[in-house]
Structure 1
């Protein structure tokens, strides 16, 4: 990983802003968290190259929890208690966030959490910069149900996020007379054969969509099982909340065009800001390492932190939290803002579809950033999201 040693050395020097970085480079969530780490490092290097914050560089202390929830807890506690760190950038899967939040709450720290999750949570010690359910689950439902049908086969890894995501989708389906024809939770180490059984059952039960919340290496196993059954994504696609370009790149085959993902960002987003981000990302980490939603969110999260730090002039979490609420910056996905109502972030929901070259083409996106609603308290029913938020189809592929 380019540059980690140098950054860790700078942590020990005087006159810096020390922060903790808690992303796994090994274990089941390493693909997503490597992207998050790289987005973090890119932002830190750009900020420091421009003179740092108030003349001082940001100095990350980077630790590897190895996808182990106990290690997340131990390392977060060590950062806060033994290393003098007050701000931590980290966590991917919900089990890791749940392991760290009690530590930052007890010690008065601040966790900057940059990945989509199941919602229904609030902590004054967390800044949530990944998508909430109304920015992730609802746009997927709005896109899927009119185009593909209302019968879902649900398959996910066995932990909190998939179970809560399926609960949300079940509630949405109940409004329109749809159904979940099957619901499977597989272990983190599930192999291709386990997914083949799920795919075969989806076909036999007449599912319209395979809804995936699989994480880690199981993502590739699911798409491989789908390909082995010679199914057509135009008829029954995999629709995912967790697949991204880094997963496509890691697969030993190229998935067929037509599978669907909901996310605020894809590498193919067309804007000068994103073109610059992608070019810088590839220059630092190599052309074969794609910029994905995990990397982009971690990247702009550090930019938000740096802007808040510039205003606060201190690493004190309460002061930083005060400054970041309502703060707006330009991110590769578009202009984002931390909502002062709930510490989540206005984001730009998009629908991507797999295409040749292991990429996603953006087929639908919002015309403006969407207010986060982690508890779905303002949800008024399917069919309103287009009208209320300017959901625009880019390419009528159905």
Structure 2
């Protein structure tokens, strides 16, 4: 897809995967790293996040930049290769001298870069829903924790849809496995029998769904209302949803609620057979607010394509970028220690019309929305929380984390044990 990227700097290559602005005199700009896969299995989701960061940087520069300096984007392509994320984060920080990085999608990519950001003491804004069970001093989590997405989605299916049998289907890596551990325990605590829970994992890029969908169909034919809770990630979603349609599974029969399928992923599908299936996010393009209308209008103008869509992780970058700008301007410096200390308590508007706050645990407050897929690839919001929900770094539903809290302001700890009153370490 060709984008009309107006007024952007010409890209130059470094090591075959790094692009930046033309040469500037030293210290003339503030460098912003963008670490998203532009190729490989995750490009279907991450390319848009690179583009929205370029849009946000362009807009901020039009306002005068930050601290009187223009922002200079430095774009890399880790190509859906998890070790490459770590290599390129080191290049961004130590080699290119960026002051902040916005990036990663999968938890395995985030996990791979954590030691680099800790060692080099830089800042990462991570914009995607994830499994929790983490709070690292150098990371700010602007996507949803499980209590801001997975738990409310299960509650909706149980309370509103009357679901009694559960298929937990995910891609085989840390986010789906940990999220499903939490959900499995949450369901059992609510009285769901073990035989009413089916768990399945598939590799990244999995394409042959016929057997698995047949098993789901059989599991759902036992006389109890059944739903699929999907943590399938990346381009595997396309053949998964196609196979649901091929086997005649509708939302009335076995509803699917997805945590990694938004407007961008639906753009590659025939959505008519998927009408009525669900997604749980904290933002949808269809949200009717002045803030969102303005954001969508800017995005369509920026891309030059009236058919382009927005999605939840784009909003997370919007929130995180504005929080970073606000914190840097308040601190009067891009020094990482000072900015890290300034960010907790920082507020920025979200696109549903509220103000999100960065919490001491480096997570933010977010609304929770459940949306039904429409035949045009958009979502109709069918459920929304009244208030913004604080992100919980450590799940209350797993014994090993029930006693843990994260607080980088008062406790200076990412995993403080409230029973022993000790800090277990900097990250996990």
With normalisation by structure 1, the TM-score equals 0.90
Residues 38 and 77 in structure 2, CA contact (< 8 A), matched pair in contact too: yes
- For 1:242, the equivalent position in structure 2 comes to 260
Conserved? CA contact 2:348–2:356, under 8 Å: yes
Greater alpha carbon shift after TM alignment, 193-202 vs 17-26: 193-202
- Number of aligned residues: 379
Q: CA deviation at 1:376?
A: 3.0
Per the alignment, residue 387 of structure 1 pairs with none
Task: Write out per-residue CA displacement over residues 121-142 of structure 1, whole angstroms, 9 at most, x where no aligned residue.
Answer: 0100101111111101121012
Q: Distance in 2 between matches of 1:337 and 1:301?
A: 10
Q: Distance in 2 between matches of 1:207 and 1:33?
A: 34
Q: Which position in structure 2 is the counterpart of 1:33?
A: 46
* Structure 2 unaligned regions, length at least 5: 12-18, 399-428
In the TM superposition, residue 178 of structure 1 has moved relative to its aligned partner by: 1.8
Where does residue 283 of structure 2 map in the other structure? 265
* 1:168/1:252 CA distance change after superposition, 3 Å: same
1:1-398 matched pairs, under 5 angstroms: 1-3=3-5, 5-6=9-10, 9-10=20-21, 12-14=23-25, 15-148=28-161, 149-179=163-193, 180-191=196-207, 192-205=209-222, 208-252=226-270, 254-285=272-303, 286-377=305-396
- 2:70 and 2:109 map into 1 onto residues whose CA distance is 28
**RMSD over equivalenced CA pairs, Å:** 1.9
What is the rounded CA distance, in whole Å, between the counterparts of 1:367 and 1:187 in structure 2?
37
Determine the C-alpha separation between the residues in 1 that align with 2:171 and 2:274. 23
User: What stretches of structure 1 of length at least 5 have no aligned partner?
Assistant: 380-398
Shift of 1:62: 0.3
* CA distance in 2 between partners of 1:312 and 1:55 (Å): 14
Moved more, 208-217 or 337-346: 337-346
CA shift, 1:207, in A, is 5.8
Q: From the two aligned structures, give the one with the greater helix fraction.
A: 1
| Deviation of the 1:74 alpha carbon | 0.6
Provide, for residues 107-127 of structure 1, a one-character-per-residue CA deviation record: whole Å limited to 9, x for no partner.
111111111100010100101
| TM-score (norm. length: structure 2) | 0.84
Moved more, 326-335 or 275-284: 326-335
Cα pair distance change 1:201/1:11, threshold 3 Å? farther
Query: Helix, strand or coil for the counterpart of 1:211?
Result: strand
Q: Deviations over 1:293-352 (max 9, x none)?
A: 121111221111111111122221111112211001112133343433201001111111
The alpha-carbon deviation at position 12 of structure 1 amounts to: 3.2
Q: Secondary structure at the match of 1:258?
A: coil
CA distance in 1, matches of 2:288, 2:140: 27
Q: 1:142 to 1:43 in 2, by over 3 A?
A: same
Of 3-12 and 98-107, more deviation after overlay is shown by: 3-12
SS of corresponding position for 1:362? strand
In the alignment, the residues of structure 2 paired with residue 207 and residue 182 of structure 1 have an alpha-carbon distance, to the nearest angstrom, of 13
